[in-house]
A and B are shown apart, each in its own frame.
Chain A
Amino acid sequence: MPGRTSSGFVIAGQVLAGACALAWALAAGDLPIGLGEVFDALFRGAEGMAADVVRELRLPRAVAVFVCGGLLALAGALMQVLLRNPLADPYVLGVSGGAAVGALAAMLVGASSWAIDGAAFGGALAAMLVVFGLAHGDGSWTQTRLLLTGVIVAAGCGAAVTLMLSLATDTRLQSMLFWLMGDASGASRPWPALVVLIAGLVVVLPFARDLNVLARGEATATALGVRVQRLRYLLYVLASLLTAAAVTLVGSVGFVGLIVPHVVRFAIGNDQRMLLPAALLAGGTLLTLADTAARTVMAPVQLPVGVLTALIGVPVFLFLLSRNPR
């Protein structure tokens, strides 16, 4: 069982891996920039085109995908505890569906990028409130009811999305499809989402051991002093907000929120005190690597990062699953 010290080493290693991924993201591209120049651009205020490319173009995008990966992995880990279902991902309760409806509706009327972001976030919050309001019962079947309500709302959003795609003009269709697949090329304002990510981790970490207890069933958790209902509300609101921030930033990137918590769980176990920060860092690192690959392997063609995460994620996950037979 990992203790506090060995956990510290794992997290430190992950921070290092994340830093390497970010460094690669800043250095690689159509204009290759040496790591020394990247360092100078970031920390010494260097002038020139290379420095501008690093600071103005690559840094916002690298931070955006790292934050998005972290948000999705953290939200996925929380959803899996909330619903006590290993198949839960950040999108299972319809939050991304709501965001997609909002964003595509804004695109359909030709709104500005600020308005698209605002509509996406608003749609995500609306979906969250609808699901929560409809599923708000009490008793032991809340979990199933929450899951069913979320799945149904997501299905409704999916239908609305398809309708809007069929109504869209060809010029707008491309950007709408890219938004749906998850596309980081337009992500230039990552800082609010970074604040959400850090705030989310700070809020949830004090409750991490409570989450371990919650996973053992409601009666047991209550008898062990966990205030189950309050904790569920916290999980639901927090996971939804994290997801809303992520889809607003980069769109519906698939598989990170489902797969990263599982991969981390295979590696270090299910102690949430470790799993939550580790999943956050692993999700950020993975998405940063995937996005850098997405814009370099077929350059100048930029692939949607969501496609790449799925193409990498699915075989990796199946491989890990086959090695962990139960």
Chain B
Amino acid sequence: MASTDSSPALLEADGLALQVGERWLCCEFSLRLAAGECLVLLGPNGAGKTTLLHTLAGLRAPTVGSVRLGGRPYADWDSLAAARFRGLLAQQQPDHFSASVLQTALIGRHPHLGRWGWETAEDVAIAQAALAEVGLAEFAGRDVLSLSGGERQRVSIATLLTQAPRLFLLDEPTNHLDLHYQIAVLELFARLGRQGRGVVMVLHDINLATRFADHVILLDGKGGVLAGTREDVLQPEHLSRAFEHPIRRLDVDGRTLFIPD
């Protein structure tokens, strides 16, 4: 990526290419994410955004190329140490058994506890603070199975905050959220970014990407990848080609908006 400073990168990928079955999701490309930066992955359905995010999270190996977290390949990381460095907000949150909201948020402390460790009062305080950040302070005792989709998504975000990693990998963080919480959640991660964390997220809303991204990777679903700064990538002609739908750019009150024709 275009960052020129010499601060150690939170996340780097070199010559990355991913293949699922017979299909190539992206041709070889490279990226580098430094502390304080936000990278957004955009693209049509099935373009491989989640696969790419999971590869960057170390959940699957790249077909070609390498991924380094904090300067080291995932193979050199202890799995719990890696979990203290990077956290993933997964797209699906399967709940099969009831558990309280607080218990669910406390799951995020797992990599911080020893094999025989139990959550301390300090861990509970961290989880409660995380729930308060997403407007769920009053929900601590509720059963996760009784929550709405948006509330459940905010519990997952609180769990990730409780994990307190330096690098956040978010798969559609605005899923199920109403307009207010979409902005609130992305503002929250932008603030964490300004405090020196890194953010990589999959988004569907081009206008939210315009507002929060420093860098954008645009997948076109046919193996093509466009990576660069927000200004370089978020152009009507690139977006129209990737989404196979004419997209028009509007400049209103100093803000840039993209709307489908």
Contacts and interface: CB of A to CB of B under 8 A. Distances in A.
Do A and B form a real pair? yes
A85 B96 contact: yes
Contacts of A84: 94, 96
A212 interface: yes
Contacts of B163: 224
A219 B88 contact: yes
A227 B99 CA distance: 22
Interface stretch (A42-50, A146-154, A263-271, A279-287): A263-271
B115 interface: yes
B59 A223 contact: yes
Given A212-B107, A219-B54, A269-B103, A226 B79 contact: yes
A3 interface: yes
A213 B103 contact: no
A271 B87 CA distance: 22
A219 B92 contact: yes
Interface residues of A, number: 29
Given A216-B94, A326-B98, A3 B80 contact: no
Contact of B145 (A1, A216, A326): A326
B198 to A, nearest CB: 15
What is the interface of chain B mostly: helix, strand, loop, or mixed? Answer: mixed
B25 interface: no
Contact of B94 (A213, A217, A226): A217
A224 B98 contact: no
A326 B116 contact: no
Interface in B76-122: 78-84, 86-88, 90-100, 102-104, 106-108, 110-111, 113, 115-119
Interface string A205-218: 01001101101110
Most chain-A CB neighbours within 10 Å: which of B78, B84, B95, B110?
B110
B113 A209 contact: yes
A265 B13 CA distance: 44
Interface of B: 54, 57, 59, 78-84, 86-88, 90-100, 102-104, 106-108, 110-111, 113, 115-119, 143, 145-146, 159, 163, 169
Given A80-B97, A269-B99, A270-B97, 13 more contacts: A1-B102, A1-B103, A84-B94, A85-B96, A210-B110, A219-B88, A220-B90, A223-B88, A224-B87, A224-B108, A224-B111, A225-B111, A226-B79
26 contacts: A1-B102, A84-B94, A206-B116, A209-B110, A215-B97, A216-B104, A216-B107, A217-B93, A219-B88, A220-B90, A220-B93, A220-B159, A223-B57, A223-B83, A223-B86, A223-B90, A223-B169, A224-B111, A225-B79, A225-B80, A225-B83, A225-B84, A226-B79, A226-B110, A269-B99, A326-B146
Interface of A: 1, 3-4, 80, 84-86, 206, 209-210, 212-213, 215-217, 219-220, 222-227, 265, 269-271, 273, 326
